[in-house]
Amino acid sequence: MTNKTIIIGIAGASASGKTLLAKTLIERVSANGNDDIGLICEDSYYHSQDHLSMEERVQVNYDSPKSKEFDLLCDHIEALIGGETVAIPQYDFVNHTRFIDKTEQAPKKVIIIEGILLFTHRRLRKLFDAKIYVDTALDFCFIRRLKRDVGERGRTMDSVINQYEDTVRPSFYKFIEPSKKHADVIIPGGGENQVAIDVLSTYVNKLLE
């Protein structure tokens, strides 16, 4: 087995189960005594919006590729592959901009990147050794998103529903769903698909041997 860092991309609709799949996979692998695996979330790479008023920030389409600083994410992945530690931005979903503090990510043998728009970016796609698309029905995604944004991100129910109708659903069909064609593997149900988790954990464990 080569010493090359393996980069796995997990994409899919908002609240499709990407994060659950990634974290469950890491837990399964770590249970075998191997912690040489890391996770980076695309959400950390929303652009800093300190220069915008709150009213302007609310109007941004956060489901468009333009909302993410993908070149910085690519730079960080390349640095990790090269054995360097990187400082990952942290995003404040309540105030729609970045926190001042960053989180250090050390190089790992396997690094999972999860996010809705990963496969829309050509340079980023080329960095993935495996591309996984989580295919979940949009009605389930909406319910999960509503619970998450109200319960964890300080949003009102009306704001979540309006955003979903105005930008989330249209952007899914414009950007995210078409990017599925770039996936190597398509998984229905995300982190609740136990068969897929068994297969992926076996794959990752072999990479780590």
Q: What is the pLDDT of residues 96-138, one digit of tens each?
A: 999 999 999 999 999 999 999 999 999 999 999 999 999 999 9
Burial class (CB in 10 A: 0-12, 13-18, 19+), 93: middle
> Residue for token digits 């309006």?
162
CATH homologous superfamily of 6-208 equals P-loop containing nucleotide triphosphate hydrolases (3.40.50.300)
Residue 69 has what pLDDT? 97
> Residue for token digits 């400082």?
87
Query: For the whole model, what pTM was predicted?
Result: 0.91
Listed by start position, the domains of the chain span 6-208
Percent of the chain with pLDDT over 70: 99
Would you say the C-alpha torsion 79, 41, 65, 4 has a positive or negative sign? positive
Mean pLDDT in residue range 75-101: 95
Residue 3 has what pLDDT? 66
